[in-house]
Amino acid sequence: MTATRTKALKIIIIGSIAVGKTALLNRYINNKFKSDYQCTLGVNVLTKHITVDNVTVKLLIWDTGGQERFKALVSSFFKGSDGCLLVFDVTNRDSFHAMEGWRDLVMANVPAEHEDFPLAVLGNKMDLSDREVTTEEAEAWSHSRNIPYYEVSAKEGTSVSQAFEGIARIALSQISEGKDFYLTNSISLGDGDSTERKKCC
């Protein structure tokens, strides 16, 4: 069936440093993987056009720096957002424990009447054998907070598309219920898709 509607969705991807946010985004956007990504400073914005439930969607995905010093800056990126992906590394328990703080950061920027703001949790690097966080405990943490959980691998591409399309589907369902302006002062983006990428030195 041909898609008949178009919607732009702004999705934020956040989590601790080195959990693989940029690798996940590159796998999803370009279907490529490399192991030597430099850390993101500030934010990097990439786009992808997809079709979800007969809706043509332009995803504007904001890849944010995971360093502690960027947390205050990340807060400003939530303005105008339609959803957020929380990412941790299944081989790094500290990154899992940090999830509560990242979730609190999101909820601190969401008006009280929109506590059902679309979120999804991604446990990355499931292809590695030295994992420190089990599937069961990650699922328990996510489900206790009514957040969908996906185990993914940026290296192998496992469940990456499902995760990004899943958050898009949740965001679209919220919009269909008239809840599309969660956060005020949306940041307008042109169609040039030429956001400058800053890298670690």
Please, are residues 116 and 88 in contact by the beta-carbon 8 Å criterion? no
Q: In angstroms, rounded to a whole number, what is the distance separating the alpha carbons of residues 97 and 102?
A: 10
Q: What integer is the mean pLDDT of 23-50?
A: 82
Q: What integer is the mean pLDDT of 26-34?
A: 93
Q: What is the pLDDT of residue 113?
A: 65
Structure tokens at 10: 């702004």
CA angle 23, 9, 36 (to 5 degrees): 10
Q: In angstroms, rounded to a whole number, what is the distance separating the alpha carbons of residues 57 and 169?
A: 10
**Which CATH fold topology does 5-176 show?**
Rossmann fold (3.40.50)
Beta bridge partners of 45: 62
Q: In angstroms, rounded to a whole number, what is the distance separating the alpha carbons of residues 143 and 75?
A: 24
Dmax over Cα atoms in the chain, in whole Å? Answer: 48
Average pLDDT score, the chain: 82
CA angle 150, 172, 20 (to 5 degrees): 35
Render pLDDT for 72-99 as a digit per residue (tens, 0 to 9). Answer: 666 677 788 999 999 999 999 999 999 9
Please, are residues 172 and 7 in contact by the beta-carbon 8 Å criterion? yes
Range in 101-105, 126-130, 131-135 the model is least confident about: 101-105
* Domain boundaries, given as residue ranges, for the chain: 5-176
Give percent above pLDDT 90 in the chain.
Answer: 58
pTM of the model: 0.82
Give percent above pLDDT 70 in the chain.
Answer: 75
Structure tokens at 151: 């185990």
Please, are residues 28 and 160 in contact by the beta-carbon 8 Å criterion? yes
pLDDT higher than 60, residue 55: yes
